[in-house]
């Protein structure tokens, strides 16, 4: 039997690295936020609960099955595990999920306002960043609310009075979306402080989304 400390070490290492980046990129504070990766049809790896990101080692990162049972790792998984599992269950296209408390986007979450496409980079998420109904954190209910807001067409949602959730094909992609959500939230906030932002039409966002999908080497 394989050493459980070595199961998917590369993925668990990536979760450690991106966890530290959450702090470096000002997407959360303290031990807030969490990240996960779909390993296969039956398991995900997710950041542990309540441990400073700089202290988390790959062997610490829990691997859990779809029932939430830990199958590798010594630490408890993030308390937001039910939310992550809900997204993976409803969105087979998703391979990575990132939850942040990034300040500008969370400001709009606290206002209960979606972030519209006042900047073209919002096309990383869809025509807007929608807002969930308010649900208590670390419950199945907040997972249901997140899934409802994401639907099939969005890669991000604001968790009302809480933070942000992004979901994409990989952890790297979901993290990029989290960065874009925070950037667009900041630009929209600043634009509103000066005047009335112009909002790009849905058809332009669709065109931009296709260009982003084709971008790169």
Q: Count Cα atoms within 13 angstroms, Cβ side, for 8.
A: 22
Question: How many Å apart are CA 209 and CA 204, to the nearest integer?
Answer: 9
Question: How many Å apart are CA 191 and CA 107, to the nearest integer?
Answer: 15
**Residue 199 CA: distances (Å) to CA of 37, 85, 116, 186, 192:** 33, 33, 7, 15, 12
Do residues 47 and 15 touch, judged by C-beta distance below 8 A? yes
Do residues 5 and 59 touch, judged by C-beta distance below 8 A? yes
Beta strands in 140-197 (DSSP E): 156-159, 163-168
Among 80, 89, 128, 172, which one carries the catalytic annotation? 80
Residue 115 pairs with which residues in a beta bridge? 129
Query: Helix, strand or coil for residue 72?
Result: strand
| 72-5-137 Cα angle (round to 5) | 40
Number of Cβ within 10 Å of residue 71's Cβ equals 12
Active site residue 80: yes
Catalytic amino acids?
80
């Amino acid at each position: 039997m394989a050493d459980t400390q070595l199961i998917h070490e590369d993925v668990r290492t990536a979760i450690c690295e991106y966890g530290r980046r959450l702090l470096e990129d000002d997407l959360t504070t303290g031990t807030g936020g969490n990240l996960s990766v779909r390993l296969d049809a039956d398991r995900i790896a997710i950041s542990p609960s309540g441990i400073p990101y700089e202290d988390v080692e790959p062997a610490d990162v829990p691997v859990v099955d779809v029932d939430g049972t830990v199958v590798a790792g010594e630490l408890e998984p993030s308390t937001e595990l039910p939310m992550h599992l809900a997204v993976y269950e409803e969105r087979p296209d998703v391979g990575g999920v990132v939850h942040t408390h990034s300040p500008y986007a969370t400001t709009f979450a606290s206002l209960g306002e979606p972030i519209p496409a006042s900047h073209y980079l919002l096309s990383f998420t869809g025509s807007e960043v929608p807002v969930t109904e308010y649900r208590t954190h670390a419950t199945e209910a907040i997972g249901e609310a997140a899934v409802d807001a994401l639907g099939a067409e969005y890669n991000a949602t604001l968790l009302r009075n809480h933070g942000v959730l992004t979901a994409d094909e990989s952890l790297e992609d979901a993290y990029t979306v989290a960065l874009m959500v925070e950037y667009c939230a900041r630009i929209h906030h600043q634009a509103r402080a000066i005047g009335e932002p112009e909002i790009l039409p849905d058809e332009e966002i669709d065109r931009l989304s296709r260009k982003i999908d084709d971008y790169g080497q």
